[in-house]
Each structure stands twice: as C-alpha cells, then as structure tokens.
DNA sequence: GTAGTGTTTGGATTATAGTCCTAAATTATC
DNA sequence: GATAATTTAGGACTATAATCCAAACACTAC
C-alpha cells in the first residue's frame, strides 16, 4: 500500500515532470510546482531540498517508466524490426505534445547541455537507456558491429524531425519523417 | 563612420548574442550582459528597455550576418551542390562550439518554442532564412517541386546530428554525419 | 493517552532578477 | 563658447525566485 506521504511526493514529481517538459527546467519555479501539485508552499521542501534534487527525482521517475515500457516491448513484441518500429510509433503517437513542447528528452538535454554539466549528465541517462536498448535491437537484427552507430543515427533522425516539426508546427513533416524512418528500418532488416 | 554610441550598442548586442548562445536566453541576466559588454549597469536600459527587445536585436543581428554570408556564397560559389555543401561545411567547422553549446539557431528555437510563442516566432525567422535559401539551391539543382521538403530534411538532419553529437560529446558522430549528408546531396545532384 | 516521530502549514527571509530614476558628463549644434 | 540633446553612470526600487523556519497537526508505538 502507498502511504499518503508517498502519494504527495509522487504528485510533486508528476507536477514537476509536466512543468519541466512544458516550460523547461530553468523557467519552472517552485511556486509553479506547488500550484500544479496543490501542496502548500513550505511542504515541498520537506521532500526536495533543492530544485536539482527535484530534477533528479523527475529523471529517475522517467527512467523507471521507460524501463518498464521497454521491458514490456521486449516481452510482447517478437522481432527487432517490430520493436524498433514500436519506438518510432510513440513518436508519431505523441505528435500534439511534440509540436507543443518538443521532445521531452531532447529538449531537456539541449537546455541543460549549455552550461549545467552536472544536471546534463543526469539527463543524458535518458538517452543512454534508449540508445542501449536500440543498439540491442540492431544487434539482434544482424548488425552487431554497427549497432551503436545505427542507434545513434536513429536517435538523431528522431531528434531532427521533432525539432523541425516543432519549429514549423508541421505534423505532416513528423508523419512523413517517421514513415521514412520505417522504410529505412525495413530495408536494414531485409538486407541484414 | 560609427559613433561611440553605435559601438556601445554593438558591444551589448555581441555580448548578449554570445551569452544567449552559451547559457540560453532565459538563464542570461542583465547583469551577465552588462558584465560581458563592460557597460555600466544602468546604461544598458538606454539601449534596450526590456530583455525581449535585446533578444530581438540579437536575432536581427544574426539575420543580417546570415544574409550577408548567404549572399556571399551565392556570389562566390557556382553550383547549387557546392553551395549546399558549403552550408554543411560550416557545421563541421563549428564542431567545438556545437559540442559545447549546441546549434545557436536550433537550441534557441527549442528553448523558446516551449512556452514563449512571441519570442519563438522571432527566433523562427532564423530557420526561415536558411530554409528559403536551401530550397532555392535544391530548386536550382533540379528539384523545384521537392525543394521545400528537401530543405526541411536537410535542416532536420543537421539538427539531429548536432543534438546527438552534443549529448554524447562525440565529434566523430558529427563528422560522419556531415559526410553522410554530403553523400546524400551528391546523389541528389547526380540523379537530378 | 502520552511520548515521539513524521508530516503539514503559511509566512518569513534572503538572493537575484528586471526595471526605473536622476544627476553628471559628454557630444552635437548654433 | 553657450545651449541643447545625447549618453553615461550608479544606485534605488520592485518583483519574483529560492530557501528556511517554527509552530501545528497526525499518526504510531508503548
């Protein structure tokens, strides 16, 4: 069973998670989080002494969620190609959010990568988790040598498409982009 | 001739330009700009009443610089392929800065795209200027119909490569990425 | 039911950011 | 060289942010 305290903490993390995504980390204030989570002002400091700690908790939460998702895909999807295409699928499914706020993982890394190296190295873990999983799929598909490079290339394609789709508010570009990625993946699979 | 006042204003714009790139717009304070430009605190408000105005001046400055650069390329580089490859070249040439602070144009748009729509629409102009120029090159190359889509694709590729190269601090990925783009451009040119 | 630990409050405090003001100094104009 | 306009200069003011605090409340164990 979850205690009331645990639920409060989770509400704070959820609120921070959303706000960090929608407004960015640096533009999100404690007041924002407190309002969104509906906890009294002072109470938040009982759970997180600093904003950095809050970010770390948010990243940890995202990592756990992602881990569960990927494990689920490993279990329920049979071929590496289908698994990779499932990855591309969430991009397409998230179109509205991506057009509004960009990639949650990419934009966080871009923001923190500028001059907050400690925070950035936390955020990088999100990329690492996907990258390693993607590489595993490419390896299983028959590209053990090129697995890392292919995974980076897939990530780069996704990031680029999302940035441009957001800049131009163009869902069509996102759709064509994901379709093109799928064609690429299918060709890789065919000629493995 | 440039007056002292004009030079001061330019120093402020240059300082803001650098800081917005290195730290991001929202994390840059007036104090930062004042220190970097070495103008007295109050004086900056004689030139820019608000931070938004300062950003607009910075963007205007970047647009002018870019315009000159592209006009120069138009004049001095003969074929569309060479011009497109010149564009890719600046990416490669900027490796250290890109690894440190990401793409000046992309990261600004990612930052402002989250929840500062007015400022984002200013920043978007930077993309527009490149996009239109790139499309012109593709059209001249023999792809008048696909020119816009190809230009967006080129921009997306660049953005993606830069994001991933920065996240992984991997100059090699940037180098391989730009080489791959050049191959793609050369194939487009060959079979136009 | 009382002691003790964990949790909740709201306001107080401090730091930093953005903005404004006014007087001095400089430059331009007659 | 006197007068007006521009620019400089530093500090004052206001808003917002992060952080802390101490008293109240609530639950658990004995």
The mean per-residue pLDDT over the stretch B98-119 comes to 97
B45 and B57 both lie in a single domain: no
Give residue for tokens 């299918």.
Answer: A186
Residue from B91, B159, B167 to probe the interface with A (highest A Cβ count within 10 Å): B167
Nucleotide nearest to B32 (CA to C1'): C17
B72 and B33 both lie in a single domain: no
pLDDT more than 70, % of chain B: 99
> pLDDT at position B106, please?
98
The mean per-residue pLDDT over the stretch B130-142 comes to 98
* CATH number of the domain to which A25 belongs: 1.10.10.60
Domain of B28?
Answer: 1-49
A83 and A119 both lie in a single domain: yes
Q: How many residues does chain B have?
A: 192
- The candidate with the shortest Cα–Cα distance to B114, out of A25, A60, A11, A114, is A25
Instruction: Decide if B102 and A113 are in contact by the 8 Å CB cutoff.
Output: yes
Residues 44-103 of chain B in contact with strand D via CB under 7 angstroms = 45-46
A34 and A100 both lie in a single domain: no
> pLDDT at position A147, please?
98
- The candidate with the shortest Cα–Cα distance to A164, out of B180, B110, B97, is B110
B17 and B78 both lie in a single domain: no
pLDDT band at B121 (very low <50, low <70, confident <90, very high): very high
B45 and B58 both lie in a single domain: no
* CATH number of the domain to which B63 belongs: 1.10.357.10
pLDDT more than 90, % of chain A: 95
pLDDT more than 90, % of chain B: 95
Please state whether strand D lies within 7 Å of residue A31 at its CB atom.
Answer: yes
Residue from B152, B154, B165, B178 to probe the interface with A (highest A Cβ count within 10 Å): B152
Rounded to two decimals, what is the model's pTM? 0.95
Chain B residues whose beta carbon lies within 8 Å of the beta carbon of residue A156:
157, 160-161, 163-164, 173, 177
> pLDDT at position A105, please?
98
Domain boundary among B9, B30, B49: B49
A11 and A75 both lie in a single domain: no
A21 and A61 both lie in a single domain: no
For chain B, what is the domain count? 2
pLDDT band at B6 (very low <50, low <70, confident <90, very high): confident
A62 and A118 both lie in a single domain: yes
Please tell me the distance in Å from B86's CA to the nearest CA on chain A.
Answer: 20
B104 and B93 both lie in a single domain: yes
Please tell me the distance in Å from A77's CA to the nearest CA on chain B.
Answer: 27
- The candidate with the shortest Cα–Cα distance to A102, out of A20, A148, A41, A162, is A162
Q: Out of B111, B167, B173, name the one closest to residue A127 (CB).
A: B167
pLDDT band at B1 (very low <50, low <70, confident <90, very high): low
The mean per-residue pLDDT over the stretch A54-62 comes to 97
Phi then psi for A39, rounded to 5 degrees? -115, 150
B64 and B26 both lie in a single domain: no
> pLDDT at position A1, please?
55
Q: ∠B160-A120-A33 over CA atoms, to 5°?
A: 105
- The structure tokens listed for B160 are 């993606």
pLDDT over threshold 90, residue A2: no
pLDDT over threshold 60, residue B134: yes
| Angstrom distance, B146 CA to C22 C1' | 60
B36 and B104 both lie in a single domain: no
């Amino acid at each position: 069973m979850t205690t009331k305290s645990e639920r409060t903490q989770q509400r704070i993390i959820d609120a921070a998670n959303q706000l960090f995504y929608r407004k960015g980390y640096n533009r999100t204030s404690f007041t924002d989080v407190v309002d969104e989570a509906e906890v009294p002002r002072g109470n938040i400091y009982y759970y997180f002494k600093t904003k950095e700690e809050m970010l770390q908790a948010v990243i940890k939460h995202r990592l756990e969620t992602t881990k569960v998702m990927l494990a689920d895909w490993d279990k329920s999807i049979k071929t590496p190609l289908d698994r990779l295409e499932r990855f591309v699928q969430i991009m397409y499914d998230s179109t509205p959010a991506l057009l509004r706020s960009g990639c949650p993982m990419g934009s966080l890394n871009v923001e923190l990568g500028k001059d907050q190296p400690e925070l950035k190295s936390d955020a990088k873990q999100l990329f690492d988790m996907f990258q390693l999983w993607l590489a595993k799929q490419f390896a299983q598909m028959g590209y053990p040598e090129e697995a890392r490079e292919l995974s980076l290339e897939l990530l780069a394609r996704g990031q680029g498409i999302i940035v441009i789709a957001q800049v131009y508010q163009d869902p069509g570009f996102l759709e064509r982009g994901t379709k093109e990625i799928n064609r690429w993946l299918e060709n890789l699979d065919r000629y493995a």
